[in-house]
Amino acid sequence: MPTAQRTPRFTSVLSALALCAPMLLGSAWAAGTAPQSQLLAAAQREQAPLLKSLEQFVNIETGSRELAGLKQLAAVLAERLRALGGEVELLAPSEVYRMEDTPEELGQHVKAVFRGKGSKKILLIAHMDTVYPAGMLARQPFGIREDRAYGLGIADDKQGLATVLHLLAVLKSLNFEDYGQITVLFNADEEISSPGSRAILTRLGAEHDAVMSFEGSGATADHLSLATAGIASVNLTVHGRATHAGGAPQFGVNALYELSHQVLQMRDLSDPLTGVKLNWTMAKAGIVRNMIPPLATAEADVRVLRVQDYDALEQKLQQRIQNRLLPEARVELKFERRRPPLEVTPVSQAFAEHARRVYAELGLQLRIDAVAAGGGTDAAFAGLRARGPVVERFGLRGAGAHTSDAEYVLISSIVPRLYLAAGMVMAFSRGEVPVQP
C-alpha cells in the first residue's frame, strides 16, 4: 500500500465529504428504516471536526515509551474534555504490575467524569499509546486518499480517542443528560499490556453499569466483539556450567541441552477444546562456539479464552520443569499474565443485540463476534469484576494497525459509528436496553 500524501486543500475535502454523508447512508431510507433524525444530523456535523482531531492526534508521536509525546497528547485531551464539560484528572500510575518489558516510568492517564440527570453509569475507554518509536511519523504523516484517512497509529487507537470525544460532542449538541455519569479513561500503556492502568480499569469496570471500549472495527465488516483472548508469556531460564567444549565438555552442564529438553516436554500443552494455546517462539543460548553454554533462555506465547485456564496452565508448567534431563541444571520459570480474556456474558449479548438494532436504523448490518479471534484488549481488564455489559470495538472501521506505512481508517465509517455509539449511550441511559447489571 503506497504511503498517503497530505491533502493540500484539507478543508475542501472535508466539505465534499460532508455533502456526501447523506448519500453514504441513503440505503437507510431505501430499506424502510427510520434513523433518529436529530442524532443522525448531529453525527454528520461531527465528521469534519473528527477528521481534524485525527490529524492533530496522529501528528503527536505517542509510543508507549515516548513520555514527552504522551504528556503532550494527555494535555490536549484534558483540555478537550474540559471544554465538553468534564471534570478532568491526569492520573499518574500508582499500582504498577511489572513485567519483563515494563518501562521504569509510564505515561499519565486522562480521566474525565460527566454528570447527568439520570441513574446509569457508563464507562468509555480508549488508549493514547502506539507501538511506534519516535521518528517513525515521517514515514506516514496524516493524509487522505479517497475514503481512507492514513496516519501512524490512526487505527490503533487515535481513532478511539477521537470517536469518544466526538460522541460526547454529539450528546452535548443534543442536550442529552439522561445518563447518571459518563466516565472516560484514556490510558497510556495499552500496547505494553497496561501495567499501570489495569488496576484502575478493573476498578472502574466494577463501578459502572456498562463499558464501551473503542478499539477499531475491521475494514471488511462492521462488528462488535463480546470476547477477546487472554495473553500471557512464559519465560524459561536454564542455568548450567561453562567448560571448554573441546577440552573438557564432561565437566560442564549444557544449558542448551536442558533447555531443549524442557521445551520439547512442554510442546503439548495447547488444548483446542478449551482454546488454550502455548507456543514456544524465541530461544537463546551460549556465549561462544567453543564453550559449553552456561545459560539458555526461551519464551512462549500463551492465549486463553477463560480466566480460570491461567491457573491450570501455570500449574502444569511448574510440574513439568521438575523433570530435568541434567540433574545439575537449574531451571526457572516465570509466568506473566499480560492480559486476561474478555468472556461473553448474557448482559453483553443483550447490549450488542440492541446495538445491532440501532445500526439497522441506518440500513447497515452489524456483526457480533462472540468468539475471540486471538488478540487481547483493555476491555478484558474492565470486565474482570464488571456486573454489566462490556463490549469492544465501538471505534471506526480501518486496518493496517502496527504497520509502518499502511494504517488507515475509513472516512465513510465516521457517521455510522458515531450514530451507533451515541445511540447506545442514549438507549442504555433511558433504560431501553434489556440488561440487568
Phi, psi values for residue 420, rounded to 5°: -65, -50
Between the alpha carbon of residue 73 and those of residues 38, 79, 168, the distances in Å are 31, 10, 18
**How far is the CA of 273 from the CAs of 1, 97, 269, 270, in angstroms?**
38, 30, 12, 9
Reduced DSSP (H G I as helix, E B as strand, rest coil) percent helix, strand, coil of the chain, to 5: 35, 25, 40
Is residue 255 within 8 Å of 238, Cβ to Cβ? yes
Active site (annotated) includes residue 258: no
**From the centroid of its chain, how far is CA 164?**
14
Active-site entry in 129, 222, 336, 361: 129
Half-sphere exposure of 384 (CA within 13 A, CB side): 16
Measured CA to CA, the distance from residue 102 to residue 93 in angstroms comes to 12
The strand pair at 109-115 and 87-91 is best described as antiparallel
What whole-number distance in Å separates Cα of residue 344 and Cα of residue 394? 16
- List the catalytic residue out of 61, 66, 156, 190: 190
Q: C-alpha 326: how far from its chain's center? A: 42
Is 268 one of the annotated active-site residues of the chain?
no
Query: Which among 22, 30, 29, 13 is positioned nearest to 415, based on CA atoms?
Result: 22
48 with 28: CB under 8 angstroms? no
CB atoms within 10 A of CB 427: 18
Q: What is the DSSP letter of 218?
A: P
CA distance 373 to 367: 14
The grid coordinates listed for 379 are 476491555
Report in angstroms the alpha-carbon separations of 221 from 157, 367, 398.
18, 7, 10
- Tell me phi and psi for residue 213, to 5 degrees: -110, 140
Angle at 435 between CA 375 and CA 212, to 5 degrees: 35
| Residues tagged active-site | 129, 190
